[in-house]
Chain A
Amino acid sequence: MDRKIHLEPGPADARVTQHLRDLYSAPADPAYWDGLETSIMSRVAHGAEVLQRVPASWWSVLERWAIPGLAAAGVLFALAGMAWSRENAAELGTAYEVFSEPADADMLPGAVNVVTAQRDQSARREAIFRYVISH
């Protein structure tokens, strides 16, 4: 004979319902719940520690280093600027010395040290500027 299993609330199959309860009912022992509470709180505390230690995403490592990185980049930029400025000044100095020091030929006995008058550069600069803006 076929036995129909009813799971309707009214004529529920008592054995099936009983088995369902056996399988799924929450433990009744209060000690179990105390233990579960302890486990949950320990996991929460551990989770909070892990969250503090482990970044949520790989780029948050970069985020942590962003401020020191920017500061270091700023310092490097300033140092590079200073070095460039010094080098530039040194080059200008050297160029000036090359042009301003008398050549060896000028030091030959009997050579005449010709002193030329300084040209006014502003007229030349103005001419270049006009050329640039008119083309």
Chain B
Amino acid sequence: MAAPIRIPDEEKELVTLAQSGDERGFAGLVRLHQRRAYAVARSIVMTHEDAEDAVQDGFLRAHQALDRFDTAQAFGAWLNRIVANAALDLARRRKVRTTQELPASLSVPFRDPAEDAELRQRLVAALGELPERARAVIVLHDVEGYTHVEIGEMLDIPGGTARSDLHHARQRLRGLLSNLRG
């Protein structure tokens, strides 16, 4: 049997306040969850600006759906799924526009691994080649330090799927960066 979710009292009060229409409640929820929401969005989209957009869009969608939110759930997990969906929507829209640009940047031969700028460029291009979910699990795990279970909650997938996605994403990234010479 799954353990009951422990929701902090502060979050419960803020949710109740926000659901009653008091904007101070929602502002409190924003303050409490915006960093994690940003991490989720940033792991999916390619730029900081897109992550900001996805976070704002996600909070707006959450605000509009607040009356349908079940208070027995953790607000953060619910919000992160909404933000992840907003980020995925944005990433897909951007992908349509940038599909032609990515192979060009990948075809640039890697000359000097000591040059961080070039490594960075290759890494950005390789990450751009990964599917959104694969990129998200790598960033959330290796950069933000979230566990498979937490990543699963954020992306609305089982923890085991997050673990296997991470394994495949690393393999893929390793393949894309395998011709680095030092």
* Residues of A participating in the B interface, judged by any CB pair closer than 8 Å: 1-9, 12, 15-17, 19-26, 33, 36-37, 39-41, 43-45, 47-48, 51
- Chain B residues with CB under 8 A of A36: 34, 38, 52, 55-56
* Residues of B participating in the A interface, judged by any CB pair closer than 8 Å: 23, 26-27, 30-31, 34-35, 38-39, 42-43, 52, 55-56, 59-60, 63-64, 113, 116, 119-120, 123-124, 127, 138-139, 142-144, 170, 173-174, 177-178, 180-182
Q: How far is the CB of B81 from chain A (nearest CB, A)?
A: 17
Whether A40 lies near B56 (C-beta < 8 A) is yes
Whether B56 lies near A3 (C-beta < 8 A) is no
Among A3, A20, A39, the residue within 8 A (CB) of B139 is A20
Closest residue of A by beta carbon distance from B24: A41
Counting residue pairs across A and B whose Cβ atoms lie within 8 Å, the total is 94
- Chain A residues with CB under 8 A of B64: 47, 51
Whether A20 lies near B180 (C-beta < 8 A) is no
For the complex, give the distance between the alpha carbons of A41 and B139 in Å.
27
Q: How far is the CB of B80 from chain A (nearest CB, A)?
A: 14
Given contacts A15-B119, A16-B119, A19-B119, contact A40 B181 (CB under 8 A): no
- Chain A residues with CB under 8 A of B139: 20, 24
For the complex, give the distance between the alpha carbons of A28 and B147 in Å.
22
Whether A21 lies near B63 (C-beta < 8 A) is no
Whether B63 lies near A5 (C-beta < 8 A) is no
Whether B143 lies near A7 (C-beta < 8 A) is no
- Closest 8 pairs (CB-CB, A-B): A3-B182, A7-B170, A24-B143, A5-B177, A47-B60, A40-B59, A44-B63, A24-B139
Q: How far is the CB of A31 from chain B (nearest CB, A)?
A: 13
- Chain A residues with CB under 8 A of B30: 37, 40-41
For the complex, give the distance between the alpha carbons of A36 and B56 in Å.
8
Closest residue of B by beta carbon distance from A51: B64
Whether A20 lies near B56 (C-beta < 8 A) is no
- Chain B residues with CB under 8 A of A45: 23
A-B contact pairs, 30 of them (CB 8 A): A1-B181, A2-B178, A2-B181, A3-B181, A5-B180, A6-B174, A7-B173, A9-B142, A15-B116, A16-B177, A19-B119, A22-B120, A23-B123, A23-B127, A24-B43, A24-B143, A26-B39, A36-B55, A36-B56, A39-B52, A39-B56, A40-B34, A40-B59, A40-B60, A41-B23, A43-B59, A44-B26, A44-B60, A47-B63, A48-B63
